[in-house]
Amino acid sequence: MTTPSAPSAPNARSRDLTVTEVRLTPILVADPPLLNTQGVHQPYTPRLIVEVVTADGTTGLGETYGDAKYLELAEPLAGRLVGRRADDLNRLFTEADDVAVDASRVSGQVDVGGLRGVQTADKLRLSVLSALEVACLDAVGKSLGLPVHTLLGGKVRDSVDFSAYLFYKWADHPEGVTAEKDDWGAAVDPAGVVEQARRFKERYGFTSFKLKGGVFAPDEEIAAVRALAAAFPGHPLRLDPNGAWSVETSLKVAAELGDVLEYLEDPTLGTPGMAEVAARTGVPLATNMCVTTFAEIKEAFTRDAVQVVLSDHHYWGGLRNTQQLAAICRTFGVGVSMHSNTHLGISLAAMTHVAATVPNLHHACDSHYPWQSEDVLTERLTFEGGAVRVSDAPGLGVELDRDRLAFLHRRWLDDDGALRDRDDAAAMRIADPEWVTPSVPRW
């Protein structure tokens, strides 16, 4: 018997995954005047771009929130990564618990900008670690010639469905505010929402629609969803007022729209309220506000408060935690979908890789990406038939455009600090000086 000759051993240097440098670049990216229950999006929103460089010369990319509270943590957490291998992630996450979080950043209350549930020290750390994890996985994948989904155990689908994320919006940011012009026009009534949906479908092929609600009185939003149902019969529809309604209002909306909604998202704030609504309606409830940490799962699932959890690798702490969340949901018979804040192509690529590995992802994912005219990639990701193809290229399969990154970083440097923290209520006060974040329930 002949012994097959051993495959040539990889050049050890070419596989040295020791992290030698982590580059953190805060940027400001253009954002249209999208309305939500707290106010309106700023003309530019902060994001943080992370580059992890390994000793073999590979650079991995990650992206997360860019507000000051995340930047403060990014430096010390990145420091923990330098000198460690990029595939030594479990220990990084464990040791990250020692990194102190400024107590003034942790209110224990619902996040003021971004509507992502309660603020905790752990969640702040995880929001930064997620970008480090994604950048490490990108670097490891590039170095080994493997796509990120393979590092996560392999894809179970070749493309990931996304839904159109409809917003009430103004045509322009308030007069006098420096902003990029967008070509979507205004959407402040049912006809405007239907027109926006039509354009989403034409441009990207989306076949399901989510309307961000909590902006107008519930009857107006019910009328908008009814108009969508009439214009797009049979298309899954969702409405998300970010907890702006009382239990009784939630039940009224559920009764009126029950025949056309795929699910109602965070109609009311908090697990007890969601549980009460869920007990009194057959319409499935989804959340990215009352289940946003592992600690919140037990109460919500045992009370049957939510039927779908919208995962988000940013605040859940990365792609592997997203898989763990999906496994817990599967155990409890709870559905999984995906939440999105304003994000760029690095995050869309990361979302697509992890979504491709989750067997029980039965709903189209949210993505703000179509609203972002700017990116830091050499090539934008595209939606075809409402879906993003899962890349089989090494790592995430995306490439950084350094000139674009430098341009968007320059914008951040030039800002006087007014835009470096997302604050939708402050942005609204420019148009309406009397505006205060509405107390909930608003209706």
Q: Based on the shown chain and the rule CB under 6 A, indicate whether residue 343 belongs to the binding site for ligand GLR.
A: no
| Dist CA 440 CA 428 (whole Å) | 18
Please compute, for residue 385, the number of CA atoms within 13 A of its CA located in the half-sphere on the CB side: 4
Q: Given the complex with ligand GLR, which of 238 and 353 has the nearer CB atom? A: 238
The token pair that represents 20 in the structure block: 């030698």
| Dist CA 295 CA 280 (whole Å) | 25
| Dist CA 66 CA 72 (whole Å) | 10
Active site residue 41: no
| Dist CA 412 CA 429 (whole Å) | 22
Active site residue 212: yes
Compute the least distance from the CB of residue 4 to ligand GLR, in Å: 54
Compute the least distance from the CB of residue 208 to ligand GLR, in Å: 14
Total residues at interface with Mg ion (CB under 5 A): 3
Between CA 253 and CA 119, with CA 305 as vertex, the angle to 5 degrees is 100
| Dist CA 159 CA 144 (whole Å) | 23
Q: Based on the shown chain and the rule CB under 6 A, indicate whether residue 163 belongs to the binding site for ligand GLR.
A: no
Of positions 133, 161, 240, 312, contacts Mg ion by CB under 5 A: 240
Compute the least distance from the CB of residue 165 to Mg ion, in Å: 10
Q: Based on the shown chain and the rule CB under 5 A, indicate whether residue 288 belongs to the binding site for Mg ion.
A: yes
* DSSP bridge partners of 63: 49
Of positions 173, 320, 339, 353, contacts ligand GLR by CB under 6 A: 339
What is the maximal distance between C-alpha atoms in the chain? Answer: 86
Q: Based on the shown chain and the rule CB under 5 A, indicate whether residue 312 belongs to the binding site for Mg ion.
A: no
Q: Based on the shown chain and the rule CB under 6 A, indicate whether residue 288 belongs to the binding site for ligand GLR.
A: yes
The answer to whether the beta carbons of residues 139 and 56 sit under 8 Å apart is no
Of positions 142, 212, 235, 252, contacts ligand GLR by CB under 6 A: 212
Q: Given the complex with ligand GLR, which of 73 and 269 has the nearer CB atom? A: 269
Q: Out of Mg ion, ligand GLR, none, which partner does residue 36 contact, by CB within 5 to 8 A per kind? A: ligand GLR
Q: Based on the shown chain and the rule CB under 6 A, indicate whether residue 238 belongs to the binding site for ligand GLR.
A: no
Q: Based on the shown chain and the rule CB under 6 A, indicate whether residue 190 belongs to the binding site for ligand GLR.
A: no
The alpha carbon dihedral of 374, 213, 237, 190 has a sign of negative
Point out which residues bind ligand GLR (CB under 6 A): 34, 36, 114-115, 212, 240, 242, 288, 339-342
